[in-house]
Amino acid sequence: MILFRSLNHAGPSLQPASWHAAGIPPWPCGILRETGEKPPPPEKRRSLPSFSCFHFPSAPPAKHPELHNLRCSVEDRDSPIFPKADAGFPFPHSMMLPNAVPVMLLPQCNVFPRGLLPLYIFEPRYRTMVAEALKTDRIICVGTLRECPDGHCPEGDDNIHEHSTAAVIRACVSHADGTSHLVLQGLRRVRFTGWEQHHPFRVARIEPLISQDSEPEASRRAAACLLKRVLRLMRKNSELGEQLASRLEALTDPEHLADFVAAHFVPEAHLRQPLLAM
């Protein structure tokens, strides 16, 4: 079994001051620890205390009541990939990000705002990156490498897509051999504007990107049309389709809906990347 414990007791250094200014409550980020226990059967997981041990040192603000029930478990397949509802979720456009962010270069991989991405960390450079990130603001980016016909993707500056998503390390488990598993959650679209560091790992200067909707009514109509089409396709399939459908129907913001569909229904990273750059 894998359990979570809070990192927030470590002090305010793990919580960027700008997050407090933006009214964002402390993140329920945790370090995972392994035990010798076996996972409980699915019918008992919801009632097991160990699957709800993300907690806040103080009660979340009233404007974020849904955070009282925020849960995440790698063993719990019912955990939402995206939040069940948009209202009050702490991703305000006013949130300040660092001027420079560590970048993990990966082929065929990207993450969208509000989405989760599990990763296995084994390269020494990225072990160092994660260790340093966990000591500070826990924010990193995934740098998507351009598609390579021969399967070998060089890591030159020109071979890295400039659009990415700043993401927070929500949970991390370290193993005895030095490797680790972690879960990233996307925060906000960014653009790489230059490189402050190449070794031992890359650090990029970033420009946070703000979505601007000049025709909100047209966007709502397009979102409703997209939702209708996706639901029609999903409900032709298994029980999983019904579970994802409930998540989709709870997303009222057109941008959130578009990101959810792009992340879950576009299988190739090189096709998702232009959607991330929009």
pLDDT digits (tens, 9 = 90+) for 80-133: 333 433 333 344 444 578 999 999 999 889 999 999 999 999 999 999 999 999
CATH of the domain at 134: 2.30.130.40
Shared-domain flag, residues 52 and 149 = no
Is position 83 within any domain?
no
Higher pLDDT, 144 or 216: 144
Instruction: Based on the fold, state whether residues 119 and 201 are members of the same structural domain.
Output: yes
Task: Mark whether 229 and 191 lie in a shared domain.
Answer: no
More confident residue, 153 or 84: 153
**256: three-class secondary structure by DSSP:** helix
Q: What angle do CA 234, 240, 245 make, to 5 degrees?
A: 50
**Selected residue with higher pLDDT from 7 and 41:** 41
pTM: 0.64
Q: Could you give the count of Cα atoms lying within 13 Å of 195 in the half-sphere of its Cβ?
A: 16
Let me know whether 226 and 272 are in one domain: yes
Res 223: pLDDT? 84
Q: What tokens does 48 get?
A: 């097991």
Q: What is the pLDDT of residue 183?
A: 95
Given 208, 241, 257, the domain boundary residue is 208
CA atoms of 22 and 32, how far apart (whole Å): 28
Q: Is residue 63 part of a domain?
A: yes
Identify whether residues 148 and 168 lie together within a single domain.
yes
- Residue 185 CA to residue 126 CA, distance in Å, equals 17
Give the closest residue to 272 by CA, choosing from 142, 93, 97: 142
Residue 77 within a domain: no
Asked if residue 204 is part of any domain, the answer here is yes
Residue 239 lies in a domain: yes
Residue 41: alpha-carbon gap to chain centroid: 27
**219 class by beta-carbon count within 10 Å (0-12 exposed, 13-18 middle, 19+ buried):** middle
Q: Supply the mean pLDDT for the chain.
A: 70
CA angle 67, 163, 254 (to 5 degrees): 50
Residue where a domain stops, chosen among 171, 192, 208: 208
Domain end (from 161, 184, 208): 208
The verdict on 105 and 200 lying in the same domain is yes
Residue with tokens 């051999």: 177
Domain span holding position 256: 216-276
| Short-list 51, 105, 110, CA closest to 78 | 51
Given a contact cutoff of 8 angstroms between Cβ atoms, the answer to whether 189 and 208 are in contact is: yes
Shared domain check, 116 and 134 = yes
Specify the number of domains making up the chain: 3
The verdict on residue 203 lying in a domain is yes
CA neighbor of 74 nearest in space, from 54, 92, 90, 88: 54
Judged against a pLDDT cut of 90, whether residue 213 lies above it is answered with: no
Rounded-to-integer distance, Cα 260 and Cα 253, Å:
11
Helix axis angle for 254-265 and 239-250, nearest 10°, is 150
Does residue 268 carry a pLDDT above 70? yes
Using CB atoms within 10 Å of the CB of residue 106, give its burial: 0 to 12 exposed, 13 to 18 middle, 19+ buried: middle
Which residues, other chains included, contact 274 with Cβ-Cβ below 8 Å and sequence gap of 6+?
A: none
Work out the angle between the directed axes of helices 239-250 and 216-234 (0-180°, nearest 10): 170
